[in-house]
């Protein structure tokens, strides 16, 4: 028993060390969510469609880079991918500091802001794929479920923490404070990752990315449908709250993350018992009911409950289908499979911003 406990602790430590990279980058992703649409809409004077696009452009960058990141991770190793990702986060912060300095020239400020969002999207892609691959390489494929579960908890717990802290930073020094924070996170991530060991790169014939992508498509499409709910909340919950005269939008964003973490802790074991597709169907239904509650809520606290239910429902879709996806390809294509699968989340989030912006323009902020 002592030897078994020691091995379990070592595995947990290895996973924790890798998913800390995930937590750092998604803390960075969460920082501007509650304040960025309002800054673009109210400070720069752009429409709700452009405000939504300011969120979604990050996911465009993530989508574009997925086809490169997965194979790069397989060939060069996951640690390299993570180091490049934190370098992108640093660059995003530097551009984020420049954008508010150009606020008097709205077009230039928006262009620099978009550059910052694009660099953050590249960083998210590099680290999101790299961290899962790195963890599996360090503890073995038999612990894939634990890796994916912990990685997701780190993701949305970090977003839940980043949203209120981003609001506080914005109150202190506007968008400049957000840019400084992104740069600091990039530097901290580089310092944290560099001393850690590389994992062995498997030298074997690899499937082309197109073949991996085609295997992943059916499960990725389901994941994309679930990600739309997160896309609507992240891009428009702040403006929705403003249109209703409510304060405390950070509570809704944090509730989403808290609901997500609770579901991962309490029910991740249900995937092995009931199967990935069945679990995904049940939790998609829960997410849909949560979104309906946000739309129908007459009071802000009820919208917070709905956001929490949405996060709870979204929580198990990725791991439920991700376990199936990892088994579809040989080990030397694992990074490509994870990258291709994650791409469907990015596509959904990218499309949701502008489409929801059009809906909001014609039907109010409840329409998305």
User: Over the stretch 280-334, which tens digit does the pLDDT of each residue have?
Assistant: 999 999 999 999 999 999 999 999 999 999 999 998 898 889 888 888 888 778 7
pLDDT at 24: 95
pLDDT at 46: 80
- Give mean pLDDT, residues 162-187: 91
Residue with tokens 């791991």: 319
Q: Name the pTM for this structure.
A: 0.74
- Give mean pLDDT, residues 114-136: 89
264-269, Cβ contacts within 8 angstroms, sequence gap of 24 or more: 264/149, 264/152, 264/153, 264/315, 264/316, 264/319, 265/153, 267/315, 267/316, 268/145, 268/149, 268/316, 268/319
Confidence tier at 193 by pLDDT (50, 70, 90) = very high
Averaged confidence pLDDT in the chain = 86
Give 128's contacts (C-beta < 8 A, 6+ positions apart): 22, 25, 62, 155, 342
Residue with tokens 């194979």: 71
pLDDT at 203: 65
Name all domains of the chain by residue range, CATH numbers in brackets.
2-363 (1.20.1250.20)
Confidence tier at 154 by pLDDT (50, 70, 90) = confident
How far is Cα 186 from Cα 205, in angstroms, rounded to an integer? Answer: 34
pLDDT at 8 over 80: no
CA-nearest of 323, 263, 18 to 143 is: 323
pLDDT at 288: 95
């Amino acid at each position: 028993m002592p030897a078994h406990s020691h091995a379990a602790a070592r595995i947990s430590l290895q996973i924790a060390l890798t998913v800390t990279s995930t937590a750092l980058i998604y803390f960075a992703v969460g920082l501007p969510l509650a304040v960025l649409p309002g800054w673009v809409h109210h400070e720069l004077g752009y429409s709700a469609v452009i405000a939504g696009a300011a969120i979604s452009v990050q996911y465009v960058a993530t989508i574009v880079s997925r086809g490169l990141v997965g194979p790069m991770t397989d060939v060069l190793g996951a640690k390299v991918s993570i180091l490049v990702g934190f370098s992108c986060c640093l660059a995003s912060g530097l551009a984020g500091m420049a954008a508010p300095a150009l606020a008097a020239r709205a077009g230039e400020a928006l262009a620099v802001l978009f550059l910052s969002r694009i660099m953050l999207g590249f960083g998210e892609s590099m680290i999101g794929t790299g961290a899962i691959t790195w963890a599996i390489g360090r503890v073995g494929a038999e612990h894939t479920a634990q890796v994916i579960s912990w990685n997701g908890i780190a993701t949305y717990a970090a977003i839940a923490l980043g949203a209120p802290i981003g609001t506080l930073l914005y109150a202190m020094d506007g968008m400049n404070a957000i840019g400084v924070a992104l740069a600091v996170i990039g530097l901290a991530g580089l310092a944290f990752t560099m001393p850690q060991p590389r994992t062995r790169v498997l030298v074997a014939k690899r499937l082309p990315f197109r073949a991996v992508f085609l295997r992943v498509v059916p499960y990725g499409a389901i994941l994309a449908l679930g990600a739309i709910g997160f896309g609507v909340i992240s891009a428009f919950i702040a403006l929705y709250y403003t249109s209703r005269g409510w304060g405390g939008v950070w509570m809704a964003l944090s509730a989403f993350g808290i609901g997500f973490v609770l579901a991962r802790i309490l029910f991740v074991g249900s995937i092995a018992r009931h199967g990935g597709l069945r679990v995904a169907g049940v939790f998609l239904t829960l997410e849909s009911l949560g979104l309906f509650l946000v739309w129908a809520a007459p009071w802000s606290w009820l919208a917070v409950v709905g956001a929490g239910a949405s996060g709870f429902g979204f929580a198990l879709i990725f791991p439920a289908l991700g376990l199936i996806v990892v088994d579809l390809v040989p080990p030397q294509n694992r990074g490509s499979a994870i990258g291709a699968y994650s791409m469907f989340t990015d596509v959904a989030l990218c499309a949701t911003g502008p489409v929801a912006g059009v809906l909001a323009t014609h039907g109010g902020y409840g329409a998305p």
